[in-house]
Amino acid sequence: MDFFNSQETLTTIQWTLRAIISFIFLLLTVKLMGQRAISQLRLLDFIMALIIGNILAHPLSDEQLGLEGSMITTGVLVLLYIISVFTSLKWGKLRSFFEPLPFPLIENGQIVYKSLARARISIDFLLSELRKEKIDDLQKVSLALWEPDGTISLFLHPQYEAVTPADMHLATNAFPFPKTIIREGKIDFKELNRDGKDEVWLKNRIKVTYNAEVNDILLATIDNNDNLKVFFYN
C-alpha cells in the first residue's frame, strides 16, 4: 500500500493502482450522490463536480501527494452534499438558494431583455434554442422559462399547438409500452414472466413467426397487446 501514501517516486504499477482506486472511488462517490447529480448538473452539483475533480486530480499527477487525504476530503464533501440536498427538500429558503425559481425569457411573443442578462445568454442563443424546437416565429411563443438547470421550457400559444385526439374528442387506446424480453440473444426472464409468459411460449412464437432461434436475435420487445417485434443481427 506504499502507493497510497506520498512518495518521492512511483513506479508504473503504483501509478496504475492509484488510477484504478481513484476511478472506483469516484464511481462509488457519484453513486452515493445519486442519479440527480448525473442527470441534472445544478448549482450544488456543479460545485461538487469542480471540487471533487480537483481534489482527486492532484494525487494522480503528483507522487508527493497521498490518496488518503483526498479520499477523506471527498468523503466529507459528499456527506455535506447529501445533507444539503435533504435539508433543501425540507427547508424552502435553502432550496430557493440552490434551485431558484424559473423566470421568463419570452412573454406573449416578446423577449424579456432583462432576463437575458440575468440568465447570461444572448439573443442568438435564445433563437438557436427556438430553432431546435422547430419554432420559426418568436411571436408563436406564449411563454419561455429559464430553468434552474440552464435549460429553456417553451410553451406555444394554443392556436399553434399540435391538435391532439383529446382536442378532437376522439377515443384512444392505452399506450402499448414495449418491454425488452431479448437482448443480444439472451432472454430477460424477469420481464417475460411479468407478462405471464414463459420461455417455451417465446421460443414457439419466434419459431412460428420468424423461423429463427433466440441466439439469432439482437433485440425483441413485446407490448401490452402481445405484439412481438424482433430485430436481428445484420
> Quick one: CA torsion of 41, 108, 166, 168, rounded to 10 degrees?
-150
Please say if the pLDDT value at position 221 is more than 80: yes
Count of other CB atoms within 10 angstroms of residue 124: 8
The reply to whether 179-232 shares the fold of 103-160 is: yes
- Written as nine digits, the cell of 56 is 482527486
Per the model's pLDDT, the better-predicted residue between 220 and 100 turns out to be 220
Please say if the pLDDT value at position 36 is more than 60: no
CATH number for the domain running over 179-232: 3.30.240.20
β 179-183/217-222 pair status: antiparallel
Read off the pLDDT band of 95 (50, 70, 90): confident
Please say if the pLDDT value at position 108 is more than 90: yes
Question: What does the pLDDT read at residue 39?
Answer: 46
Contacts of 190 (CB under 8 A, 6+ apart): none
Question: What does the pLDDT read at residue 34?
Answer: 58
The partner residues of 228 in beta bridges, in order of sequence, read: 222
Q: Exposed, middle or buried: residue 45 (CB in 10 Å: 0-12, 13-18, 19+)? A: buried
What DSSP assignment string belongs to 96-164? HHHSPPPEEEEETTEE-HHHHHHHT--HHHHHHHHHHTT---GGGEEEEEE-TTS-EEEEE-GGGSPP-
Report domain extents, the chain.
2-95, 103-160, 179-232
CATH number for the domain running over 103-160: 3.30.240.20
DSSP three-state, residue 180 = strand
Question: What does the pLDDT read at residue 132?
Answer: 92
